[in-house]
Chain A
Amino acid sequence: MITRLWAWLTGYVIIKLKGAQLETLINRIASHGFGIWDLERVTANIMIGRIRIKHFKRLRPLLSGLNVRVGIVGRAGLPFFIAKVIKRKGLLIGLVLAAGFLYYLTGFVWMIEIAGNEQISLEQINAVLIGQGVKVGAAKSQIRLRYLENLLLTEFPELSWVGASIKGVLMRVEVVERTSPNLAEVQYGDMVAAQNGLVTQVVPFRGTTLVSVGSTVKRGDVLISGEYYDQYGRRQKGSAEGIVRARVWYDAFGEAAFSKITEVETGNYHTNYTITVGSWTVRLGRQVPFANHTSSGQTWQVQIGRLKLPLAVTKHTYAEVDYQTRQISPEQARILALERAWQQLAAMGVERDQVSDIQVDEYIIEDQDGIRVGLIAELEQDIAEFAPRL
């Protein structure tokens, strides 16, 4: 491999050996230390092989006494390549110019990447960069990275760090924004009851506990106060934190009637048409002869291509219906009413599987012919919510 590479670098020729005692010549060449490679026997008296230029020049003495002729059929390697290139000056000049132009182009920024911004928009940062002449196509030598970093930091106080770098034709501006401190931590306030309830568990994290297990609390009562005394006995005002679980009750009600009015089609149908031209409408066919009916329609809009003309035909189909009253058993009505009550609870945010106990009261509504179900659900939940003190 190395020999081949070296041969290519120093140049080699492809030779044709013609004659009777080719093996003898090969042995002579080899024994002089000249290497031949890719030696092929073409015919009985012709061989083709490759030999380094240096060795080829010293081949003549070896031919003496042999009836062999040696000719060059090809040249290869770097020296020949260079000679060829030098002959083709236009190509060489083009290559050099292309390389030079490429190098020239690498002196500019062709891509700008801005990363890390969340609150500050890309446009804002870009505007500052453009103000300094930093844009796609700007010369790298004109860009002062450290100055830009400082400028961005002063321009946007929200930034805590800016890093600008140029790698090849890519300019990267990385920014880190200040993370705003959590409001709850700096606020002063209490944990208050979000619900009426009976306290079952108090887990204070910060603040002074004002209720104990078994206390009955009303909505808005302070459970954990934000005022507390620290380990040195100093009074502190902070944000109370903690969990206060309590047994709470939600009530809801649902109603259901003992009868239901349903529409039943009688099987009589009637059809008529209307033609609409602009805002003017005319009916074709008789009026609907039914007292109670449902209707459906189908409209054909006349259009040419995609242009709608102000002309439409509508087919109306009317179905005669009877209203029938269907009785619902008191048991079914009760289930329906209870389900409606549960739905009301769900709307208040009560999940059914969290409920530990329920109480159901039923009332018959005499005049409206139905049932009303009152549902009281008992469950345990965290009722503490943060209320800031101003």
Chain B
Amino acid sequence: MERGLSRVVKKLVSTMDLPADAILDLPRITMIGNTEMLIENHKGIEKYTSTDIRVRVKDGQMCISGRKLAIRFIDRDDLKLEGVITGIEIVGQ
């Protein structure tokens, strides 16, 4: 039932050209070069080291690897990372 509703919403979003991040609660990721990354709509951090940060997002995880990684700011919605980002992987559930 929920799956069906989700599919309907997705369809609605794509046909009506609505912002998916706001309606579907999807993460919005902004990167500035390879040194800054802003993840909006995150669901918390799973792991935090200076070479590997894992961030929970809706329906999965984002794995960010790099050097000298640090969390510049974190609150309910936003997560800002800094450092040298060398890899991004998105793992679905």
Bound CA span A215–B39, Å: 103
From A3, A34, A39, give the contact of B71 (CB < 8 A).
A39
Per DSSP, are chain A's interface residues mostly helix, strand or loop, or mixed? mixed
Interface residue tally on B, bucketed by range: 10 to 19
The answer, yes or no, to whether B28 is at the interface (CB within 8 Å) is no
Q: Is residue B59 within 8 Å, beta carbon to beta carbon, of the partner chain?
A: no
Minimum CB–CB distance from A10 to chain B (whole Å) comes to 15
Whether A36 pairs with B76 at a CB distance below 8 angstroms is no
Contact among B44, B50, B72 for A27, CB-based, below 8 A: B44
Give the shortest distance, in Å, between A128 (CB) and chain B (any CB). Answer: 67
Contact of B75 among A22, A33, A40, A41 (CB under 8 A): A33
Asked whether, in the complex, the Cβ of A23 is within 8 Å of the Cβ of B73, the reply is no
* Contacting pair B70 A36 (CB below 8 A): no
Q: CB of B49 within 8 A of chain A? A: yes
A161 at the interface (CB under 8 A from B): no
Within 8 A of A (CB), among B31-81: 44-50, 70-76
| A23 adjacent to B50 (CB under 8 Å) | no
B75-A23 in contact (CB<8A): no
Q: Is the CB of B46 within 8 A of A41?
A: no
Q: Please report which residues of chain A, range 25-78, place their CB below 8 angstroms from some CB of chain B when the two chains form the complex.
A: 26-27, 30-41, 47, 49
| Further contacts, 7 of them, CB under 8 A, given A35-B73, A36-B71 | A30-B74, A32-B76, A33-B76, A37-B72, A38-B70, A39-B70, A40-B71
Interface residue ranges, A against B (CB under 8 Å) = 3, 22-23, 26-27, 30-41, 47, 49
What are 22 contact pairs spanning A and B, CB under 8 A? A3-B73, A23-B44, A23-B46, A23-B48, A27-B45, A30-B44, A30-B74, A30-B75, A30-B76, A33-B76, A35-B73, A35-B75, A36-B75, A37-B72, A37-B73, A38-B70, A38-B72, A39-B70, A39-B73, A41-B48, A41-B49, A47-B48
